[in-house]
Amino acid sequence: MKNYRLVLLFIAAVLIAWVAIIIASGAGWNPIGIRWDFSNTGAFGDSFGPLSATMAAAAAVSALLAWNIQRNEVLRLRSNDEQAKNDLEINRDDQTFFNLLRMFQDVVAATDIQRSDGPDKRGQDSFAFILDRVSARLEHGREQAYTVIFNKYINDLGHYFRILYNIIAFIDRSRLPDKYFYVKVVRSLLSNAEIALIGLNCIYGEGLTKFKPLVEKYALLKNLSPSLIEKYQFKSHFAAGAFVRTD
């Protein structure tokens, strides 16, 4: 826009100067060698030849600048539309995330282990109870201990792992600008026992192929207690990224 104004000012200055020369020629001062009188109309008409050429050039330049301004405006509007679309998709992903998070919390709260030898376990206490059962069988080996207990509580654990995996996978493929922030929100809701069971699922269960890479990418084991890390030898099975963000 600034360049367009400068060109218009230049064209106006040329026109003013040309008219001034013609008027001066008619008054007796003849810098271009043509007298301005009606007895020499041919010469007078010839004096407008350069002016016509200048006007044609000015019209061409003005048309080019007008096209360029219109093009830039179209690009700006298109860019604004794309930004608005991107913002809409981010807001939609944000809402979807929190809907999934509420669903996950409902799953945890609804987890119920009924016992004949003691009080029932509900919510996060259920996962602490399950991990205790794994721990009680470690003399048979970690893999065997986890597999037996997982199969015993497969309805609760299977549902839990599926929805948690889908939340982290959704974050990973979403348009959310700070994906690690959303993973931290999820991680803040996990108990120590839940994190340990996630780790065991990624080593010995169905999480090995798809869930484990996401655990390592987003440091999902970061808040796990050192004692459980040592007890289940997690550091020998996971990359450093599972415990601390490395990017």
Residues 93, 180 within the same domain: yes
Cβ-proximal residues to 150 (8 Å cutoff; 6+ apart), any chain: 157, 201, 204, 205
Q: Mean pLDDT across the stretch 128-156?
A: 95
Cβ-proximal residues to 115 (8 Å cutoff; 6+ apart), any chain: 121
Q: Are 71 and 59 in contact (CB under 8 A)?
A: no
Range of the domain at 47: 2-82
Residues 131, 216 within the same domain: yes
Residues 102, 223 within the same domain: yes
Residues 55, 71 within the same domain: yes
Reported confidence tier of residue 38, pLDDT bands at 50, 70, 90: very low
pLDDT confidence of residue 79: 63
Residue 77: is it exposed, middle or buried by C-beta count within 10 angstroms (0-12/13-18/19+)? Answer: exposed
Query: Looking at this protein, which amino acid is placed at residue 174?
Result: S
Largest CA-CA distance found in the chain, in angstroms, rounded: 127
pLDDT in tens, 60-73: 666 666 666 677 76
Domain ends where: 82, 116, 135? 82
Letter string b/e over residues 86-108, b meaning 16 or more CB atoms within 10 A of that residue's CB:
eeeeeeebeeebeebbeebeeeb
Instruction: Specify the range with the lowest mean pLDDT, choosing from 9-13, 16-20, 54-58, 69-73.
Output: 54-58
Q: What is the mean pLDDT of the chain?
A: 83
pTM: 0.68
pLDDT in tens, 65-124: 666 667 776 666 666 666 677 788 999 999 999 999 999 999 999 999 988 888 999 999
Q: Mean pLDDT across the stretch 25-36?
A: 56
Instruction: Give a yes or no: residue 121 inside a domain.
Output: yes
Residues 27, 76 within the same domain: yes
Residues 129, 192 within the same domain: yes
How many independent structural domains does the chain possess? 2
58 vs 133, residue with greater confidence: 133
Domain ends where: 19, 52, 82? 82
